[in-house]
């Protein structure tokens, strides 16, 4: 079935990406202004690491994922509130969405440093000590990011691992850095980096 294409389709595509980048910048500035230690994780962290090597491999993401300490949650709420974000707990996930009409699916999602996301996860998410200052925001270390992607191992995580492999950020020496369950997953990616 044919559909009519909006004349401004390219602008819509560009604006969708820009909105995520703006949300990321605003969240990072708010946390920094509130003296809340953080690190960007998830798809934006993958994009940051991959873009250092090959910007052509960067994928878009619709949300922002951030790592903080659980003990800093109240300070993060205050900092994000001052920047126009509302806190919510949705399906067990702490997140911030933009007032007045932001969507949780397009929000700033939190994970807590040193904690497991699921009780069955083989290892917890990284501590904030496993992060570094990037040009625009603090980002989780490459090893910490790869470990997180190996733990989650959903389709999008496998694709991110493939992107990092194609960019030359991960190679055959990397499985030795992780527990065997994660090493096996990484060997699977390395054996078929193009999917």
> What DSSP state is assigned to residue 139?
E
Do 124 and 116 contact (CB within 8 A), yes or no? yes
108 lies in some domain: yes
- The tens digit of pLDDT for each residue in 125-140 reads 999 999 999 989 999 9
75-103 residues labelled b (16+ CB within 10 A) or e (exposed) = bbbebbeebebbbeeeeeebbbbbeeebe
40 lies in some domain: yes
Residue 1 in this model has a pLDDT that exceeds 70: no
Q: Residue 126: which of 68, 181, 62, 76 has the closest Cα?
A: 68
68 DSSP β-pair partners: 112
177 lies in some domain: no
- Cα 102 from Cα 124, distance rounded (Å): 30
More confident residue, 105 or 187: 187
- The tens digit of pLDDT for each residue in 48-97 reads 999 999 999 999 998 999 999 999 999 999 999 999 999 999 999 999 99
113 lies in some domain: yes
174 lies in some domain: no
Do 147 and 124 contact (CB within 8 A), yes or no? no
Average pLDDT, the chain: 95
- The tens digit of pLDDT for each residue in 95-114 reads 999 999 998 889 999 999 99
Q: Give me the sign of the Cα torsion angle 177, 182, 184, 187.
A: negative
From the CB of residue 148, how many other CB atoms can be counted at a distance below 10 Å?
27
Domain extent for 130: 12-141
Token pair in block for residue 132: 């570094």
- Cα 125 from Cα 153, distance rounded (Å): 13
159 lies in some domain: no
157 lies in some domain: no
138 DSSP β-pair partners: 133
CATH number at residue 58: 3.30.460.40
Q: How confident is the model at residue 144 (pLDDT cuts 50, 70, 90)?
A: very high
Q: What is the pLDDT of residue 195?
A: 80
Do 109 and 63 contact (CB within 8 A), yes or no? yes
Average pLDDT over residues 158-177: 97
Q: What is the pLDDT of residue 194?
A: 87
Number of domains in the chain: 1
């Amino acid at each position: 079935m044919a559909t009519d294409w909006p004349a401004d389709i390219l602008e819509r595509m560009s604006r969708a990406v820009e909105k995520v980048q703006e949300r990321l910048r605003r969240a990072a500035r708010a946390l920094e202004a509130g003296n809340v230690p953080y690190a960007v994780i998830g798809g934006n962290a993958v994009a940051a690491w991959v873009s250092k090597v090959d910007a052509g491999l960067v994928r878009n993401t619709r949300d922002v994922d951030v790592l903080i300490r659980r003990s800093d949650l109240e300070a993060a709420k205050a900092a994000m509130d001052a920047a126009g974000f509302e806190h919510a707990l949705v399906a067990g996930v702490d997140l911030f969405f933009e007032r007045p009409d932001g969507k949780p699916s397009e929000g700033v999602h939190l994970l807590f440093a040193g904690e497991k996301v699921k009780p069955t996860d083989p290892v917890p998410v990284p501590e904030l000590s496993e992060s570094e200052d990037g040009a625009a925001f603090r980002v989780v270390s490459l090893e910490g990011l790869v470990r997180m992607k190996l733990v989650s191992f959903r389709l999008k995580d496998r694709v991110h691992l493939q992107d990092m492999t194609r960019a030359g950020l991960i190679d055959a020496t990397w499985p030795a850095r992780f527990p065997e369950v994660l090493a096996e997953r990484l060997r699977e990616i390395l054996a078929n980096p193009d999917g």
